[in-house]
Structure 1
Amino acid sequence: MPLPTLGIALDLGSDRPVAAQLAAAAPLLRTAAEAGADSVWLGESYHDAPEPFHLPSPLITLAHLAALTPLKLGTGVLLSRAYDAHRLAYEAALVDQLSDGRLTLGLGLGAPALRGTLGGPDRAAGAHLDSLLHTLRDTWGVTDGPATRAGKADPSPPARVAPPPLQPGGPRLLIGGQGEAAVRRASTVGDGWYCATNYSDTLLRTQCARLRDHPSRTRTAISVNRLCLVGGSDAELGAAGKAFADVTGYYTRRGLWNAGAAAGDPPPVLVGTPDDVLERLGVYGAWGVTHVQLRVLPAGVSPATAVRSIRLLADAGAFAPGK
């Protein structure tokens, strides 16, 4: 079973100067590109006070990164409650142009507090996300009717934004969420499903099985975000819990860490020697996971440690195509 394609999930917090964070992350992005990583991904959060992750409006930062790295760009995930669908169609199309067609959009619901704010409508989140996805498809020139899902030739109308996305039909859409509604959206309107950092392995495996059984309009991608620390000694690996404390604490305080876990589930992290991590990636691949974003530089981990994790995985062949 081939390993999933690997990318980088980049942590950028609101508690530190953003330009300095990007400068510190530059060696990691270079190392990742040299190793054969596929992409770099940013999450999204809106805070009233500084937090160690994430930033608002990740498309702005991705437009900046487009000129600094050859890696593909992704959002993991945009919070749909914060967005007007037509404005998002224009902004994503522009970032796709600026990045030479390297953009993928991961989309999720977002917290209830975002309802009716920041340009998003005051309506039920599920209904808004469904409407937003169909608007993006329609605006970017994608026909999403039964003929397309049946695999028949069905010419798409031209995009109705200017400039249009560089990718025909627009960026790929990956849909986050824990339930069957997310699988429906990922299969019928989107191009795949996005598994968040805090989702347990049991939840991941459940959603993979649901996606296998659900009729799909395209080959379904399954993309997973995981905290990752790779080391060669017990001392290095023993520091993982402390290194990840800011991130795991954020989710734990909200009752969201290891969501959907079954008894005996390990934490949803990739920690260990290169062989340990390769073994876990192989399990994910067997479940149907196609992409994994390695979250190697959260607050609490030094850039040098993050670079070493990538180099150790590269030396072990984790980025080799078809491994």
Structure 2
Amino acid sequence: MKFGIMASHQYPHEEDLRAHLSDLFGTVELAAELGYDSVWTINHFQSNLATPQPISMIASLIPRTGDMTIGTGILLLPLFHPAHVAEEFATLDQLSGGRVVLGVGAGYRENEFAAFGIDPATRFGRLDESLRLIRELWTGEPVTFSGKHFSLEDASIGVRPLTPGGPPVWVGAGGTKAVRRAARLGDAWYAPGNSPNPSFLPDHVAVYDAALLEAGKDPATVERPVGVELYCAPTTEQAVAEALPHARREYSTYAEYPALRWQRDRFDELVVNTLLLGSPEDLVRRIGELREVGFNHLIFRPGWLGMPPEKVRASLRLFAEEVFPAFR
């Protein structure tokens, strides 16, 4: 089992962004020292929280992360031109020594699509074309491509990736059709672990495995990441007391977007079913359940709005010391 952290670089607009980023970089450096496997950046535009852009964040994190994998969790691919993404991630692949993952998703916030003049109904078609075109460009050979959304004529990228064929591609997906698409287009399905429906993950793992076979891929060879919310303290009572107010504040902020209002209305269900707030013993049990479902790379947000950095770091340290050994 691998363990990674979401950098979670989202902050209230009125607060000191540079101070927050300095704290974040220190936390990521600690995670590297403690032996965490990966770190992931966030992508939003015109957000109700100050959200530095993920490609710039990855570049800043490369010298601070040792041998950790660094990726986007996720990049809103329909809002980018695939030639831009192919060049940027080939560059990051070179800069990082081959440690980058391109994690992508279709997006959901209406204001983001409006800002770029993109019809949200086209997002899945754009995602599909973009990934096919990016992979072709990563070969380094001239590409001629004529699609519904993108076209190139005898074009090649200026920087070839260090990794043969380009960085791994993870596709975030939360519905049956989208999970099938992830199996067809990606190297991994980045599963959302915050559904209040306890059958969501096992049901969709089965969908994913069947779709992998249909695509001619071996289910036994793919990486299986899942994103969750996690906080570790000596007792579960302490973990809940320290983390829950901050998690509630962050989820309430997300719920200002129509597509996520359910997270405010069903927050208590999320707490019970998906927020991993607990003692090391409780977390070993709950992570063991995710491993039994089939996941082998747990990625978690280690803190939420307003949580002091020292609390975040204490949780990361305790988790590494007392939970890692149960899975490695």
TM bin (shorter chain): 0.7 to 0.9
Q: Match of 1:64, as an amino acid? A: S
How far apart are 1:244 and its partner, in Å?
0.7
TM-score for both structures, normalised by structure 2: 0.82
Matches within 5 A, 1:140-151: 140-141=138-139
Match in the other structure for 1:34: 33
Shift of residue 139 of structure 1?
Answer: 1.1
> What are the superposed Cα offsets for residues 140-186 of structure 1, whole Å, 9 maximum, x if unpaired?
1299xxxxxxxxxxxxxxx9422111111111111112122222222
Match in the other structure for 2:136: 138
Structure having the larger proportion of residues in helix: 2
Give unpaired runs (5+ residues) of structure 2: 142-154
Work out which of the residue numbers 282, 303, 314 in structure 1 matches 2:320. 314
TM-superposition CA deviations, 1:37-78 (whole Å, max 9, x none) = 101101111125x416xx253011111111222122011111
> Is the CA contact (8 Å cut-off) linking 2:72 and 2:104 kept in structure 1?
yes
TM-score with structure 1 setting the length: 0.83
Identify the residue that residue 300 of structure 1 maps to in structure 2.
Answer: 306
Alignment match, 1:286:
292
Structure 1 segment 53-72 matched on structure 2, within 5 A: 55-70=51-66, 71-72=68-69
Distance change (3 Å), C-alpha of 1:259 and 1:109: farther
Between the aligned partners of 2:226 and 2:95, the Cα distance in structure 1 is 25
Distance 1:46 1:198 in 2: 22
Change (3 A) 1:259 1:197: farther
Q: Which structure is higher in RCO with an 8 Å CA cutoff and minimum separation 6? A: 1
Aligned pair in 2 of structure 1 residues 21, 250: CA closer, same or farther (>3 Å)? same
Is 1:20 aligned to residue 23 of structure 2? Answer: no
1:129 to 120, 127, 130: 127
Q: Deviations over 1:265-306 (max 9, x none)?
A: 934211100111111111111111121112112212211111
Contact 2:78 2:126 in 1 (8 A): yes
Q: Aligned residue pairs: how many?
A: 300
Alpha-carbon RMSD: 2.9
Note closer, same or farther for the CA distance 1:301–1:77 as it changes in structure 2 (3 Å cut): same
Partner of 2:227: 225
What secondary structure is seen at the aligned counterpart in 2 of 1:193? Answer: strand
Measure, in 1, the Cα distance between the counterparts of 2:262 and 2:253: 9
Query: What's the CA shift for 1:28?
Result: 1.9
Are 1:190 and 2:186 counterparts?
A: yes
Query: SS of 1:13's equivalent?
Result: coil
What is the distance in 1 between the residues matched to 2:262 and 2:187?
Answer: 26
Change (3 A) 1:59 1:163: same
Question: Which sections of structure 1, spanning at least 5 residues, go unmatched?
Answer: 144-158
> CA–CA distance in 2 between the matches of 1:282 and 1:113?
39
On the 8 A contact 2:227/2:298 being kept in 1, the answer is: yes
Identical residues among aligned pairs (%): 27
Structure 1 residue 203 and structure 2 residue 200: aligned?
yes
